[in-house]
Structure 1
Amino acid sequence: MKRMLALHLISVGFLFAPLATPITLHLVAAEPVKLIFDTDMGNDCDDVLALGMIHALQSRGECELLAVTITKDHSLAAPFVDVVNTFYGRGDIPIGVCDSGVTDHEGRFNVLAAQKDEGEYRYAHDLITGDDTPGAVDVLRQTLADQEDGSVVIAQVGFSTNLANLLRSVADQHSDLNGIELVRKKVRLLSIMAGAFTKIPNNEGQLYDHKEYNIIKDIPSAQYLVNHWPQPIVWSGFEIGRSLPYPSESIEQDYRYVDHHPLAEAYVLYNPPPHNRPTWDLTSVLHAVRPDRGYFDVSLPGNVIVAADGLTTFQADEAGKSRYLQLTDAQKIRTTETLVQLSSQPPTQVDCEP
């Protein structure tokens, strides 16, 4: 017999009136953000924390996760996404994969999708291999076609492979529109973790031009994206997540409500505490869902240029479609606390007994 623990997380009751009438505060967006999450799941643990954040925000009524598409080309990446989605009670969310050969190694924590204890999977999930998963472009086109015009936000926190391929796509059974037309009609914002828009200090404190991982792993796709994406883009550069390290104390303390937690175990397998991992991907998710809450400042408009070696530069232009996140010292504590609270928020129901 399995024991279920109901966790009421979305509202908090306060006693204000003399009659001690409880008042419940609901921090819920007027309309949930329709969100697609595009991730290179398995290359860094910030992708995992970002997906956990999305589920917390959906439990709060602030977003709806429409689909997850993956730019890491390994057969365990999709099953691990299914592990996380199932853990949060949403194992039916569509998942799409790429066939690119980019980062086709296993990864340090996607192996959790295959982990068994006494012959049973440690984490419940239905998807056993990415070989049984539809292609990302097909999932993206179907998902976009099913949504209202101008309603979708995409958080891209991996390579630009899938979205570049989406832009190149032609009319199909899902839509008579080609990829660029479909994005123009259905997407209102792309929140992307990629590039770097300030010089970065090295270990000796010297500043250098950083060629960011999500760009350099698929430079042609990044170049195609910046040249052809028809809607606004907000970039979270390398410098943003680097300035907001996730406190490892949270990994050690805040996920103990179950014996095995996929977010905490993925973090430990990637680089165990006391390592404080930067929150790169989490920042793009936070801006995608809560763009007006003052967690970040945003630059003036312009255009991002991706050089042949992967270096990103920003050119101000009033007609440009891109902006990038900026962060003040005053914003860092509040933003970090928000990232931690959302990432570590338990599901509405947790299976407490194996």
Structure 2
Amino acid sequence: MLPTLPKAKTPILFATFALASCFTAICVPAICFPAIYVSTCDAAQPPLPVIFDTDMGNDCDDVLALGMIHALQSRGECQLVAVTITKDHALAAPFVDAVNTFYSNGNIPIGVCRSGITDHEGRFNGLAEARDDGELRYPHDLASGENAPDAVAVLRRALATADDHSVAVIQVGFSTNLAALLASAPDEISPLNGVELVTTKVSSLSMMAGAFAKIKDESGHPRDYKEYNVIKDIPAAQRIASEWPTPIAWSGFEVGIALPYPHRSIENDFGCVEHHPLREAYVHYNPPPHDRPTWDLTSVLHAIRPDHGYFRLSDPGTVTVDDEAFTTFQHEATGKHRYLIVDEASKSKTLEAFQLLSSEPPKAR
């Protein structure tokens, strides 16, 4: 039996956030109103095309990050053009499809890798198969990742059809798919090789990987840290660090640690529907009371809202990844890499954005 929480209280979005946003969503007890479109956006600013590359199923922050992208898309700030997955399990892609469908975006292309990396089910991807009274709790079309196309083909197709220098790529899992994209040859999708395609079509890469501050060990001593997304595919991470041709914003392990997601939001802010995939995934991963670090959410927020003052950026430089998975940043005036820095003065603002965006109700179906 799948664990659940008692029915959550319904969220109330703060007026200050609503005034600052292009759209608002209002929930009152027993009633969930769809997003209200308010014409305060600059109509000349088109939505940012986004590719989301994730190891969905290995941690619940991937799910919250995907929900944030859908909320930002409903606000007209971005357009999710593809999701590619680096977790090699058959239920990872169906779960992504279920979340996309929950947000009325079930036609978004999904690609998978077949690398053998983290090929276990994970704690919440099984929700893709959850049924109530014989019906899928979270309807979706993709039954298995075995039926999904290869991630590199999906990436190449999404980029080939995009405007030049327009796409923001967000990587919150391993570098497996993006490294394979760089190594890809010209084909029927595009006459450009992978490096040429990225150079021509991508504006930036925002990635959760590495560590750029010492992390305390179990004894409380600060140590250099080997971060999970790098450890799982070191050669791919090395290739991205050395060969990716566009600017990269690295969100290190220390950033998500400094911004834990308040578990009370999971308990109180997702009650507009009886079953919410983000809430249930969080509970399956590690039930409240548990404030999970927001590693992947940081890369999403920076990629789509880079000028909102949520994070400071390091000076430019270059990141290298050694054979033990340690990441090192070297300041260089002409470097294409920067890393995110949490500003104490902006922490409450950033955490509020995480909560309000991830819990924003899906638009009317």
With structure 2 as the length reference, what TM-score do the two structures score?
A: 0.90
% identical equivalent positions:
62
> Which amino acid is 2:306 matched to?
P
Q: Match of 1:185?
A: 200
Q: Match of 2:234?
A: 219
Could you tell me how far 1:110 is from its partner in structure 2?
Answer: 0.2
Could you tell me how far 1:8 is from its partner in structure 2?
Answer: 2.5
Kept after mapping to 2: 8 A contact 1:28/1:60:
no
Q: For 2:350 and 2:37, locate their aligned partners in 1 and report how far apart those are by CA, in whole Å.
A: 19
Q: For 1:153 and 1:267, locate their aligned partners in 2 and report how far apart those are by CA, in whole Å.
A: 26
Q: For 2:70 and 2:315, locate their aligned partners in 1 and report how far apart those are by CA, in whole Å.
A: 31
Q: For 1:126 and 1:40, locate their aligned partners in 2 and report how far apart those are by CA, in whole Å.
A: 20
Find 1:38's aligned residue among 41, 53, 63: 53
SS, match of residue 149 in structure 2? coil
Q: Match of 1:91?
A: 106
Kept after mapping to 1: 8 A contact 2:270/2:279:
yes
Q: Match of 2:304?
A: 289
Kept after mapping to 1: 8 A contact 2:48/2:77:
yes
Higher mean C-alpha displacement, 67-76 vs 201-210: 201-210
Q: Match of 1:210?
A: 225
Could you tell me how far 1:117 is from its partner in structure 2?
Answer: 1.6
Q: Match of 1:170?
A: 185
Could you tell me how far 1:320 is from its partner in structure 2?
Answer: 1.2
Find 2:78's aligned residue among 50, 55, 63: 63
Alpha-carbon spacing, 1:29–1:274, altered in 2? closer, same or farther (3 Å): farther
Q: For 1:50 and 1:210, locate their aligned partners in 2 and report how far apart those are by CA, in whole Å.
A: 23
Could you tell me how far 1:198 is from its partner in structure 2?
Answer: 0.4
Could you tell me how far 1:10 is from its partner in structure 2?
Answer: 4.6
Q: For 1:310 and 1:240, locate their aligned partners in 2 and report how far apart those are by CA, in whole Å.
A: 18
User: Which aligned pairs between 1:1-354 and structure 2 lie closer than 5 A?
Assistant: 6-11=33-38, 25-26=40-41, 30-349=45-364
Q: For 2:121 and 2:154, locate their aligned partners in 1 and report how far apart those are by CA, in whole Å.
A: 23
Kept after mapping to 2: 8 A contact 1:35/1:67:
yes
SS, match of residue 337 in structure 1? helix
Deviations 1:219-262 (A, max 9, x none): 01001111111111000000111100000001001001111000
Could you tell me how far 1:9 is from its partner in structure 2?
Answer: 4.3
Q: For 1:157 and 1:337, locate their aligned partners in 2 and report how far apart those are by CA, in whole Å.
A: 21
Q: For 2:36 and 2:67, locate their aligned partners in 1 and report how far apart those are by CA, in whole Å.
A: 14
With structure 1 as the length reference, what TM-score do the two structures score?
A: 0.92
RMSD: 1.5
Could you tell me how far 1:5 is from its partner in structure 2?
Answer: 5.5
Specify every segment of 5 or more residues in structure 2 that has no aligned partner in the other structure, as ranges: 1-30
Could you tell me how far 1:6 is from its partner in structure 2?
Answer: 4.3
> Which amino acid is 1:127 matched to?
L
Q: For 2:36 and 2:322, locate their aligned partners in 1 and report how far apart those are by CA, in whole Å.
A: 45
Deviations 1:266-312 (A, max 9, x none): 00000000000000000000000000110000011111110101011
Q: Match of 1:21?
A: none
Matched residues, number: 336
> Which amino acid is 2:215 matched to?
I
SS, match of residue 349 in structure 1? coil
Q: Post-superposition, which runs of at least 4 consecutive aligned residues in structure 1 deviate over 4 A?
A: 24-29
> Which amino acid is 2:217 matched to?
N
Q: For 1:296 and 1:216, locate their aligned partners in 2 and report how far apart those are by CA, in whole Å.
A: 25
SS, match of residue 220 in structure 1? helix
Kept after mapping to 2: 8 A contact 1:168/1:180:
yes
Q: For 2:285 and 2:298, locate their aligned partners in 1 and report how far apart those are by CA, in whole Å.
A: 19
Could you tell me how far 1:29 is from its partner in structure 2?
Answer: 8.1
Q: For 2:340 and 2:42, locate their aligned partners in 1 and report how far apart those are by CA, in whole Å.
A: 24
Specify every segment of 5 or more residues in structure 1 that has no aligned partner in the other structure, as ranges: 12-23
Q: Match of 1:15?
A: none
Kept after mapping to 2: 8 A contact 1:29/1:61:
no
Kept after mapping to 1: 8 A contact 2:35/2:361:
no
Q: For 2:43 and 2:311, locate their aligned partners in 1 and report how far apart those are by CA, in whole Å.
A: 20
Could you tell me how far 1:152 is from its partner in structure 2?
Answer: 0.5
Deviations 1:138-173 (A, max 9, x none): 000011000010000000000000000000000001
